[in-house]
Amino acid sequence: MAETASEAAAKVEKNADTGIARITLSQRAIERLELLTDTVKPGPGGAGVLFPYAALLYDAQGKTWVYVNAEPRVYERQSVTVTKIEAGAVTASAGPAVGTPVVTVAAAELFGAEFVTGK
């Protein structure tokens, strides 16, 4: 059965100042995407933060980003400054705070939803 307008799979709200969207997904969309998150950890020796490489995205200009799970079913793109990639993990000098959930499965789909044209 098709989703109704009140049950839209994704609601995308752009911040006029930053251009970064806040994406709210329906529970069904989360399940269909098989979206998963992992928690940002302290970097080695307490320097920066550490998160799975699967969370890292590159935009067309080569900037690095992750999607944070800001609140239940809400995702926002956040800039990261990568210092090292090794053994499936990213160390960043700037990015989400320790303990923040980052999307590790379906981040590319969120990125696509954020930049859909014609809406």
Q: What is the pLDDT of residues 39-95, one digit of tens each?
A: 999 998 888 999 999 999 999 999 999 999 989 999 999 999 999 999 999 999 999
Could you tell me which residues are beta bridge partners of residue 39?
A: 101
In a domain, 40, yes or no: yes
Q: What is the pLDDT of residues 17-31, one digit of tens each?
A: 888 889 999 999 999
90 neighbors 76 (Cβ within 8 angstroms)? no
In a domain, 52, yes or no: yes
Domain count, the chain: 1
In a domain, 67, yes or no: yes
15 neighbors 71 (Cβ within 8 angstroms)? no
Q: 11 pLDDT exceeds 80? A: yes
Count of CB atoms within 10 A of residue 30's CB? 16
In a domain, 33, yes or no: yes
User: How far is Cα 75 from Cα 80, in angstroms, rounded to an integer?
Assistant: 15
Q: 16 pLDDT exceeds 70? A: yes
Question: 87-99: buried (b, 16+ CB within 10 Å) or exposed (e) per residue?
Answer: eebbbbeebbeee
As given in the structure block, the two tokens for residue 14 are 């752009």
Locus of tokens 């098709």 = 2
Instruction: Please give the residue range of the domain that contains residue 14.
Output: 5-114
pTM: 0.88
How confident is the model over 1-6, as a mean pLDDT?
48
In a domain, 91, yes or no: yes
Locus of tokens 């006029």 = 16
In a domain, 119, yes or no: no
Query: For the domain that residue 42 is a member of, what is the CATH number?
Result: 2.40.420.20
In a domain, 97, yes or no: yes
**pLDDT value at residue 6:** 55
Greater model confidence, 116 or 55: 55
In a domain, 19, yes or no: yes
